[in-house]
Structure 1
């Protein structure tokens, strides 16, 4: 399967699904999901696999067992290329368009401890600051789960206290629905964004794992 772009019909599908998140709607429009959402994402990831690795394409069904929200379907199609568990590159399509990013999405207490030890180190912490500054300049948004308080064992006036609060760390960019979304250029743009995020992924892999 050759990647030729992500059709606007994929965005329209999710806009309609958000308005009618029901089994009846899903059954009636399953062919659109398969042809306009899943197939282009599969082709896109196949084109990027040689450089970044194989991807996990998330299921379209929500796990509602422990949620008050019982709507059955996700209103976005995401996929994750894992370097190690929880760490890697992310792509998503929803009604708003294309979203790209990467980083540590889930981490264990041991990972958080190693992360904070590295951030506390003048050299490694300085490296991370430079990486994040470059990503911010490239219009990536730095995210991740953070403590509201000062982590135990670190002074409140630590020069990297904001980074020390992180329990996970990501960088993402919403690209919307530019004219090239329906063309092969989308693969180039995803590759460029993931290459920009790669220093963060590699830093996290090196110091956390």
Structure 2
């Protein structure tokens, strides 16, 4: 009986050892459980995504107030100067826009008479096209005389991101000094104005 009792006690002791030794194993297993690890922060990627989605306005030719274009017309050059007192960096589809345009002739001795018979400006916002200005007449631009005009642009289509202005000058050029006979020459130029999205503000 004693042997049996001792065996039972031994068995009990073995069971206790097994039970007590398994306790730290369970504790260690719970410590290494992946579900208890903290989740990585995603705030950086969210901020980067928001920054990437913010609309960026391209720089424009009138951001400094003025720009000069030169259009070669055979033996002479038509020089067009565009300028504005507006802040062109704030142009939106619906904002007021007033431009000054001056044209004069270069690379000629001025002995042959040159006149403007038509000066036309059209506006295209990608969705609509409009005739902004048309001058018909006989405007002398023989050097040193220039041609000047002021253009007020109408509101563009809502959501437009840029305006393209096309300038057309129909010129009558004397065939020879004092010949009083003329040939026609048409000078074409374009100016693209980027727009700020309506309602957009800088943070």
TM-score of the superposed pair, with normalisation by structure 1: 0.30
TM-score of the superposed pair, with normalisation by structure 2: 0.30
Q: Which has the larger radius of gyration?
A: 2
> Relative to total residues, which structure has the larger strand share, 1 or 2?
2
> Relative to total residues, which structure has the larger helix share, 1 or 2?
1
